[in-house]
Amino acid sequence: MKLANVKDLLKEVLAAFVCENRYYKSVGMALSFIFNVLSTLFYLTSLELLRNIIKIGDATNRPSLIYRYIAHAAVGILFRCLCKMFFGYFSEKSIRDLMVRFLKDAMSVEYKDIVRSDSGEIITNIHAKLVVYKSLFEMLAFKLVSIMMFIVFSFIKIRSSNQPLLYFLTLIYPVAYLLISIIKLKPILKFHTSYLNEKVGNSSILYDKIQNFELIKAYGIEEKQSGELYVKTSKQRKDYFRMKLEGEKRNLLVESFSELPFVAAILLVSLAFSTEAVNLSVIFMVFKSLNALLKQASDLISSLAISLNGIEEIFDVPVETKTRKTLVFSNCICFKSINIYQDKTLILENINLKIQKNDKIAVVGRNGTGKSTFLKTLLRFSSYDGEITIDGQSINSISNSSLFDLIAYVSQDDYISDATILDNVRMGSKHSRIDEITCMATLLGIHSEIVSLKNGYNTHSGFNGSNLSAGQKKKICILRAFVKNSPILVLDEATSTVDKKYEDYFIKHVLKEITNKTILMIIHQKELVKYFEKVAFLKDGKVEEYGRFDEIYRKSKAFREFMNEKCQ
């Protein structure tokens, strides 16, 4: 449904009334109407009593008038509360039915149409419909009834005032309100729908980037990702501004028409009242307008305080002050007395090992032994004490950008941005030439699969890689890491979602061909561990064994038992 189409909108609202469970919806709306009529009636009579209280004259009846005023006002408030209670209860039940209907409609759509489009569109339409329905129900239950009651009450008063011109003035406001609302509804809905679409899309992008924060940091593309999001949110900002602008135009016109009859009425009946009463009326009008402005300001301040409170922790992060230096990895990585923590809980302790340049290290162990946490320590994504050095320099003395220049990282989760395959591959090396990329893809055994896609390297990945299979996404992540051309590769279960044939090819042939990289890789298949130069075996919160496969298999009973378990 396009919300900018007023006819379709009204059809949808009517459909909401006639769908299942019509009975309780009708009862709920009827009760809301009745209680609002009574509330408005008592509110108007309390205003009449207030007018009599402030009139100049005999003051002996004022106490009784004040008591009657308080009683009428209290009853009016009670009926308004009952109205809101019934309206809220039954409208929420209606919305529940609408949500179920929307879900059924979405589930009836062909699967290929769902996965090939942004799921945010479905959520946006559902959210927009629910917001519009509730707003329209509320307008019917409250605004319309209140306006009609004020018109009837005004006509009754005018009839005894000998001022027939007031009939015309009384009708100006509701007629103008209706016409202006209908005319302005279309542009407001148009920009509101566009704004919601942009907001949901940008929220999804923001969530995706925060979810893959480690990988974005590892590739040193924070500024690029922030810049892209800034560009995308520009459309959202413009649509929000135009939506608010159209809304304010409508409010300005409505307020102008509502104030003119009020002022005209005061002028016309001024001869029938004393000067003091007229002054009190004017003061009341000014106070009412000022009170409305103060309430809006108060709401804005409260909203701002809540928003600032919600984002306070996000920005409470120290700014990096280390300067970026180009480092060259030429010797070894050393872990010295390392204890690794996760949420202040000790995960691995007393790690002491040395990784020589161009070593290929298999990191193995049972599930939950801290393999991923161990690898992330090299990128400073895990808390630790002790010292980790690269060529004798502590990684804590190296800036993030310099450290991440040395390391290419493939995480467990496949981060694929909503761009082409080529753009995704170039994420950490934007100046890479296409021939360099295709050459590396050929070496990795990925090139033929990419060119078989409809648009080859220019195939659009879709949101979070929705146009690609799990294996294709993982292979693109591997290609991206190798194209980055960093001397150290950290592969956290990099072959977990690829087929066994490709995993065999990658470990048996690719690692043999890549002689100028230091690779640390979490591996699960026992038969492939022996193709690595060294093995780090994690058990019971420590690196139990570290060395050549044949050596630790021969001397370590725990490692042999682990490997035999893998065979079962």
Where exactly are the structural domains of the chain? 1-142, 161-273, 332-567
The strands making up 518-522's β-sheet, listed across from edge to edge, are: 407-410, 488-491, 518-522, 360-365, 534-539, 542-547
Q: Given the structure tokens 């467990």, which residue do they identify?
A: 412
State the Cα–Cα distance between residues 451 and 456, nearest whole angstrom.
4
Question: Lowest-confidence range among 281-290, 357-366, 507-516?
Answer: 281-290
Sheet of 332-342, strands arranged across: 345-356, 332-342, 383-390, 393-394
Is the pLDDT at 113 greater than 50, yes or no?
no
Distance between CA atoms of residues 283 and 312, nearest Å: 43
User: What is the C-alpha separation between 406 and 264, in angstroms, rounded?
Assistant: 78
440 pLDDT higher than 70: yes
Per the CB < 8 A criterion, the answer to whether 169 and 264 are in contact is: yes
Query: Does 437 have pLDDT greater than 50?
Result: yes
**Is residue 314 classed exposed, middle or buried when 0-12, 13-18 and 19+ CB atoms within 10 A define those classes?**
exposed
CATH topology of domain 1-142: ABC transporter transmembrane region fold (1.20.1560)
Q: Over 50: is that where the pLDDT of 327 sits?
A: yes
The listed range with the strongest mean pLDDT (39-53, 300-314, 522-536) is 522-536
Strand, helix or coil for residue 460: strand
Closest CA to 170 of 254, 261, 252: 261
List alpha helices for 469-539, DSSP H: 470-483, 500-505, 511-513, 526-529
Q: Which of 556, 558, 550 is nearest to 531 (CA)?
A: 550
The pLDDT tens digits of the residues spanning 354-366 come to 999 999 999 999 8
DSSP letter at 420 equals B
Q: Which carries the bigger pLDDT value, residue 32 or residue 412? A: 412
Identity of the amino acid at 34: I
pLDDT reported for residue 436: 92
pLDDT of residue 371: 92
Q: How many CB atoms lie within 10 A of CB 388?
A: 18
pLDDT higher for 193 or 123? 193
Token pair for 332: 């070894």
Residue 331 DSSP label: S
CA proximity to 494, closest of 515, 514, 471? 471
Question: What mean pLDDT is reported for the chain?
Answer: 73
How far is it, in rounded angstroms, from Cα 315 to Cα 282?
49
Residue 567 has pLDDT above 70, yes or no: no
pLDDT at position 57 is: 53
Give the residue, 12 or 227, on which the prediction is more confident. 227
Provide the terminal-to-terminal Cα distance of the chain, rounded to the nearest Å: 55
pLDDT at 267: 56
Residue 9 neighbours by CB distance under 10 Å: 20
Whether the pLDDT of residue 564 is over 70: the answer is yes
Amino acid at 568: Q
Cβ pair 135, 155 in contact under 8 A: no
Residue 322 pLDDT > 90, yes or no?
no
pLDDT at 412: 82
Report, as an integer, the average pLDDT of 544-550.
92
pLDDT for the residue 125:
57
Asked whether the domain spanning 332-567 has the same topology as the one spanning 1-142, the reply is: no
The tens digit of pLDDT for each residue in 36-93 reads 778 777 777 776 776 677 664 556 677 787 888 788 878 877 877 777 777 667 666 6
Question: Given a cut of 50, is residue 276 above it in pLDDT?
Answer: no
CATH architecture of the domain with range 332-567? 3-Layer(aba) Sandwich (3.40)
Segment holding 44, helix H or strand E: helix 22-54
Phi, psi values for residue 140, rounded to 5°: -65, -40
What's the one-letter identity of residue 434?
A: I
Question: Mean per-residue pLDDT for 373-395?
Answer: 90
Averaged pLDDT, 236-260: 67
Q: Pick from 126, 244, 251, 122: which is nearest to 195 by CA? A: 244
pLDDT band at 518 (very low <50, low <70, confident <90, very high): very high
Q: Which residues contact 493 (CB under 8 A, 6 or more apart)?
A: 372, 412, 522, 524
**Maximum pairwise Cα distance, the chain:** 112
pLDDT (0 to 100) of residue 38:
80
